[in-house]
Structures are given as structure tokens and as C-alpha cells.
Amino acid sequence: MAPASALGVGHRWTGCQNGGCRVRGRRHSDNAAANHAPMPKQSSVARRMQCSVAMASIGHVLIGMAAARLSRERQRTIWSPVTAGVIWSGLSLLPDADVIGFRFGVRYEDTWGHRGATHSLTFALGVGILVWVIARLTNLAALRTSLIAVAVVTSHAILDTFTDGGLGCALLWPFSDERFFAPWTPIPVAPIGRAFLSGEGARVAAIELVAFAPFLLYAIWPALPWSRPPRR
């Protein structure tokens, strides 16, 4: 994928269908034309490893924690704050469940590969509908809870487009398999899996922790008197 300026387009979001996998802001190819050509010949494993990068997930978790607090405002739930934090953080991380596909031969750039269908707006909407049903069954504010869920899952995909490596996100799936990056990609990617337990992984995690600190503060800040749920 070539940067928006190189392509001469004025769209806020830019995409590329073939290749364009980036590592630390660099592409495997040097010019825009080559970036739209198939990737250089190499084994699928090697190629997968080169593309096996993602957000360190600290930001996704902190957004989930903030959503847990937001969802508990003005309504009583059966979940403790910690349980709610775990559930909402899991929801925020849900799109990255697609990395399981690596084990079954799904390639990064496939529709169900990493940052593919699960990083689309349609997927977020589907999760929202499911949460609406669960909220109805558990006497939660269904519309409010499901809207927060859609926002959380959508935030995952949008944030991933701001990272400086890997492939972009298939935001418009199933209408298009095109992968999108934001024009500005300030969030560094981290290695996936055990490779995350490295100096580079720690560096990226620290950056995310600082960048998303406001969400952490909101999540753990003592409740204000007027924001406590009504007593029964």
C-alpha cells in the first residue's frame, strides 16, 4: 500500500488489496507500483512471520475496562466491577481471535486472516446484536449496552488502522476485502505470541500504556456520588 500522498488521493482512509504488508512503517517493496504487485516469492510460513504483528493489546484492554465502567453507570448489574472489566476487555480483544486461524493455515491476508472479517464494521454490528439479546435476557439496558459493545468492537478495528505495521483492516467486509490504514499510523506494532515477551514487546506495551492512560484513569477513578447506580 502506498501512502495517501504517494497515491495522490485525498481520502482520509486508504487501502490496498494485495501485499502491502508493512513492518515498522516500511513496506517490503520500495515503490508504490511494486506495493500493488504480489509479494516476493517466499515460504508461506516466512511470510506469515513477517506479517505476524499487531497492537500490543494494552490499549484494547484499557478501552474494555473503561467500557465496563460506562456500562455499569446508572444501572445495577449482577457483575462485580472486576468481572465486568474482564468481560468487556475480552469483548474489546475479540477481533484478534482471528489469529487462531494461523494454526489452521489461514493466511494473514485471507478474508478470515488477521485483521480481516473480524475487523470490519459488520462484525462489530453483529456482536452488538448478540449483546443486545444477552442484555435483554439478563435485564440490562439492552440498547445502551449493545451500543457500547458496537463502539468497543469498532474501536478495535479503527485503532488497528493507526498501527505502523502488518496489513490494514478489512473495515468494509463483506462488501469489500480491501484492507485499510489510517493516513497517520503513530501506534507501533508488537510481535504476536511468544515473541511479544521481548524488549521490543515491552517497549510497545509501555507506549500503549501511556497513550491510553486516560481510559485507565476513567476505569479505576472512584465513582462520583451522582454516577452511582440507584438504590433499590
What are the residues binding Zn ion (CB under 5 A)? Answer: 95-96, 160
User: Residue 187: beta bridge partners?
Assistant: 163
Which residues on adjacent β-strands are paired with residue 23?
Answer: 26
Closest distance to Zn ion from the beta carbon of 55 (Å): 6
Question: Do 20 and 3 contact (CB within 8 A), yes or no?
Answer: no
Nearer to Zn ion, 145 or 163 (CB): 163
- Identity at 92, one-letter amino acid code: S
Minimum distance from CB of 34 to Zn ion (Å)? 26
Pairing of strands 14-16, 22-23: unpaired
| DSSP label at residue 117 | G
CB nearer to Zn ion: give 121 or 135: 121
- Integer Cα distance of 30 and 68 in angstroms: 44
- Nearer to Zn ion by C-beta: 16 or 190? 190
To Zn ion, the closest distance from the beta carbon of 129 in angstroms equals 21
The C-alpha cell at 210 is 501511556
Pick between residue 34 and residue 209 the one whose CB is nearest to Zn ion: 209
Q: How far apart are alpha carbons 19 and 31 in whole angstroms?
A: 12
- The number of residues in the chain equals 232
Nearer to Zn ion, 29 or 122 (CB): 122
Which residues does residue 163 pair with via DSSP β-bridges, in sequence order?
187
Task: Please report how close the Cβ of residue 106 comes to Zn ion at its closest, in angstroms.
Answer: 15
CB of 77 to Zn ion, least distance (A): 27
